[in-house]
């Protein structure tokens, strides 16, 4: 079926004056799905599987992006990269929502045409995606021609199935939220700045105005039972659970039919209703369809999953839950299209404990933050401190604190302590482990080995719960534990004394002997202190016939393994710094996948591909140049 087989009244009134480019049959896009330009597919058999499909919101372009948008991008990218780390085919879709009354008003205020306004602002989001290291495969713009075609076809199918009807509508409309609110969701509020009262949405606090007009409606009320059944069958559809409960409660209370068009004399900037050019399609119907536009909608029979649909996860902010978790699945169920598998609705970033919002100007410019701290540091901070359930307050001092503790003092310090000393060799320690000459009976070593063996599995469990922040904290706990392990084992003390030998004359303890050379006893207080450390090590960790060199190599190897495994798991979070770390450890590019993120999985590394540096300023995480 192609455009010629559609009803004549539909064909003739699609978009007057606009040439509609339907590419072939009913599901034309499926034959021209672009292979994701940035995704690496591991093998031919995997190409037959449904790709993992994740999306960020389609960002509204009425103003420049702020750091909250960067947070959403980072979460989406981490989820996508985690799948690639596991060797899976993955697709990430992001983009910009460019229609609606707010855009029309913003363009008029700027005294430029809406399309030109959108071109300028959309480019800012694209620039941010590039600067953020977003591994996106699609950047959709709702002003794109293929998206307009998909939206009009989606509308046509809804109307064909009887879910769209025309009626006069009156109610409270919020320009800022681009939506009508029922009477039960409206309240009177006081503006503290002016002292005037106004009617506002209980949900967002934005002002609403009474509106009366004729437009088209979607029979949302008919989907109460189907939605509740869907939620029951998919209890983890929305994460976190508290927001899922709110959605279920809202739908259970009943649904009103949804106004899905606006008169063109009121809203001219948008996609026209296919068979009625006097009406413009509601921006939230338009924008949501973008997720399936880039998945190849409309699809040829049997080709629906080729572009990744159903989406594995939509990543959104908590303020747009209703649109994504009630309206969107209802639209899809109406056409027997499976809804997305999951939706992650994260909390907001606040500034001075006030929500960041473009409308109030209470925002942080993400490009300035990237220029100051670097993108890997920003990705780390946002993922580590960003909230899923609860809001998080943003602050430069908090970034500096997180950098010093986790990156500079934690991971960077560990890497320097293992790679810089000349009194041992990482490569020789790895070879000793490969040859099976290292004993692991000591208590601390057993505990550390167990932690490293389980780290990837535990982190993956948090990822499956759509909690990248919790996974990152597990990974960083491994860094802190390894620093403690290294401090307890103190291989530098063993290297200084070189005096532990099995069963020789002297004081025996646990089957071993500590023998101090006479010249060492006479040395400085530093050597005496080192001898005391050696005594403590023997007392706590003695193993029969365990040579001093074995202990050094065992400790260095376990610390090197921790660095290697952590480096692999940090790649989705800090792609550039993780790559630099793995280069310092000499890990081959082919051995940086999830399968290698376990103890004893790789014995080929240890010869650095890049110098670990000799000073603080050339280390993995040098001191911040500006700490304000």
SS3 readout for 222-252: HHHHHHHHHHHHCCCCEECHHHHHHHHHHHH
**Number of other CB atoms surrounding residue 329 within 10 Å:** 24
C-alpha to C-alpha distances, 419 to 368, 409, 487, 584, 589, nearest whole angstrom: 33, 15, 15, 8, 19
What's the pLDDT score for residue 548?
Answer: 80
The answer to whether the CB of 269 falls within 8 A of the CB of 113 is no
Q: Residue 254 has what DSSP assignment?
A: -
Question: So where are the chain's domains?
Answer: 3-33+50-379, 395-618
**Number of other CB atoms surrounding residue 518 within 10 Å:** 6
Q: Which long-range CB contacts under 8 A does 508-511 form with residues at least 24 apart?
A: 509/538, 509/539, 509/542, 510/538, 510/539, 510/542, 510/543, 510/544, 511/542, 511/543, 511/544, 511/545
Q: How far does the chain reach from its first CA to its final CA, in angstroms?
A: 63
| Mean pLDDT of the region 258-268 | 93
- Fold of domain 395-618: Isoleucyl-tRNA Synthetase; Domain 1 (1.10.730)
What's the pLDDT score for residue 41?
Answer: 32
What's the pLDDT score for residue 244?
Answer: 97
The answer on pLDDT for 503 being more than 60 is no
CATH 3.30.2270.10 fits 3-33+50-379, yes or no: no
The answer on pLDDT for 519 being more than 50 is no
Lowest mean pLDDT among 42-56, 150-164, 196-210, 579-593: 42-56
- Which tens digit of pLDDT belongs to each residue from 419-467? 999 999 999 999 999 998 887 777 778 999 999 999 999 999 999 999 9
The rounded distance, in Å, linking the Cα atoms of 277 and 430 is: 71
- Residues ≥6 apart with Cβ < 8 Å to 299: 27, 29, 30, 306, 307, 309
Lowest mean pLDDT among 42-56, 86-100, 274-288, 371-385: 42-56
What's the pLDDT score for residue 1?
Answer: 39
Q: Which long-range CB contacts under 8 A does 179-185 form with residues at least 24 apart?
A: 179/284, 179/323, 180/211, 180/258, 180/259, 181/208, 182/256
The rounded distance, in Å, linking the Cα atoms of 314 and 340 is: 7
Task: List the beta strands (DSSP E) in 304-342.
Answer: 313-317
Q: How confident is the model at residue 618 (pLDDT cuts 50, 70, 90)?
A: confident
For the ranges 17-31, 134-148, 172-186, 514-528, the maximum mean pLDDT occurs at 134-148
What's the pLDDT score for residue 31?
Answer: 40
Measured over all CA atoms, what is the biggest interatomic distance in the chain, rounded to whole angstroms?
A: 104
What's the pLDDT score for residue 5?
Answer: 39
- Which tens digit of pLDDT belongs to each residue from 35-71? 333 333 333 344 458 999 999 999 999 889 999 999 9
What's the pLDDT score for residue 176?
Answer: 64
The answer to whether the CB of 138 falls within 8 A of the CB of 308 is no
What is the value of pTM for the model shown?
0.81
Measure the CA angle with vertex 136, ends 135 and 140; round to 5°. 165
The rounded distance, in Å, linking the Cα atoms of 193 and 360 is: 13
Lowest mean pLDDT among 38-42, 409-413, 533-537, 581-585: 38-42
């Amino acid at each position: 079926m192609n455009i010629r087989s559609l009803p004549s009244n539909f064909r003739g009134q699609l978009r007057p004056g606009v040439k509609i480019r339907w590419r072939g049959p009913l599901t034309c896009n499926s034959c021209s799905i672009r292979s994701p330009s940035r995704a690496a597919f591991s093998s031919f058999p995997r190409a037959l599987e449904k790709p993992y499909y994740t999306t960020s919101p389609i960002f509204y372009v009425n103003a420049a992006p702020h750091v909250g948008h960067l947070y959403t991008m980072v979460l989406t990218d981490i989820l996508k990269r985690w799948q690639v780390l596991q060797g899976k085919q993955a697709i990430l879709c992001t983009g910009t929502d460019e229609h609606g009354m707010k855009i029309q008003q913003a363009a008029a205020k700027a005294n430029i045409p809406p399309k030109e306004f959108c071109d300028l602002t959309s480019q800012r989001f694209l620039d941010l995606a590039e600067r953020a290291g977003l591994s996106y495969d699609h950047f959709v713009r709702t002003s794109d021609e293929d998206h307009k075609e998909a939206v009009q076809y989606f509308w046509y199918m809804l109307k064909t199935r009887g879910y769209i009807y025309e009626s006069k509508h009156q109610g409270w409309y919020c320009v800022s939220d681009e939506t009508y609110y029922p009477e039960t969701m409206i309240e009177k509020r006081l503006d503290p700045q002016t002292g005037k009262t106004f009617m506002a949405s209980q949900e967002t606090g934005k002002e609403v105005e009474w509106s009366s007009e004729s437009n088209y409606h979607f029979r949302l009320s008919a989907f109460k039972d189907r939605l509740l059944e869907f939620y029951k069958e998919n209890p983890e559809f929305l994460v976190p659970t508290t927001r899922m409960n709110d959605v279920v409660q809202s739908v259970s209370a009943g649904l009103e039919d949804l106004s899905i068009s606006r008169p063109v004399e009121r809203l001219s900037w948008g996609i026209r209703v296919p068979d009625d050019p006097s009406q413009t399609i509601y921006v939230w119907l338009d924008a949501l369809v973008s997720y399936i536009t880039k998945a190849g909608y409309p699809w040829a029979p049997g080709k629906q999953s080729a572009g990744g649909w159903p989406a594995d996860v939509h990543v959104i902010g908590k303020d747009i839950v209703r649109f994504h978790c009630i309206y969107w699945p209802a639209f899809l169920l109406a056409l027997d299209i499976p809804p997305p598998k999951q939706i992650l609705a994260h909390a907001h970033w606040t500034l001075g404990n006030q929500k960041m919002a473009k409308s109030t100007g209470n925002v942080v410019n993400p490009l300035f933050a990237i220029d100051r701290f670097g993108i890997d540091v920003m990705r780390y901070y946002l993922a580590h401190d960003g909230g899923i359930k609860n809001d998080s307050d943003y602050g430069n001092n908090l970034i500096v604190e997180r950098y010093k503790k986790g990156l500079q003092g934690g991971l960077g310090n560990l890497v320097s302590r293992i790679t810089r000393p000349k009194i041992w060799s990482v490569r020789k320690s790895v070879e000793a482990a490969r040859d099976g000459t290292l004993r692991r009976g000591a208590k601390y070593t057993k505990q550390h080995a167990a932690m490293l063996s389980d780290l990837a599995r535990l982190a993956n469990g948090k990822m499956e719960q759509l909690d990248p922040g919790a996974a990152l904290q597990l990974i960083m706990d491994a860094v802190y534990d390894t620093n403690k392990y290294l401090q307890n084992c103190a291989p530098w003390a063993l290297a200084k004394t070189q005096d532990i030998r099995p069963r020789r004359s002297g004081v025996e303890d646990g089957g071993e002997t500590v023998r101090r050379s006479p010249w060492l006893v006479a040395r400085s207080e530093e050597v005496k202190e080192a001898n005391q450390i050696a005594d403590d090590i023997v007392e706590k960790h003695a193993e029969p016939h365990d040579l001093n060199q074995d202990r050094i190599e065992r400790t260095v190897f376990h610390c090197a393994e921790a660095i290697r495994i952590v480096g692999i798991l940090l790649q989705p979070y800090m792609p550039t710094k993780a790559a630099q770390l793995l280069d310092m450890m000499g890990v081959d590019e082919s051995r940086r996948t999830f399968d290698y993120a376990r103890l004893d999985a790789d014995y080929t590394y240890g010869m650095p591909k890049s110098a670990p540096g000799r000073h603080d300023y050339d280390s993995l995480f040098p001191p911040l140049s500006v700490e304000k």
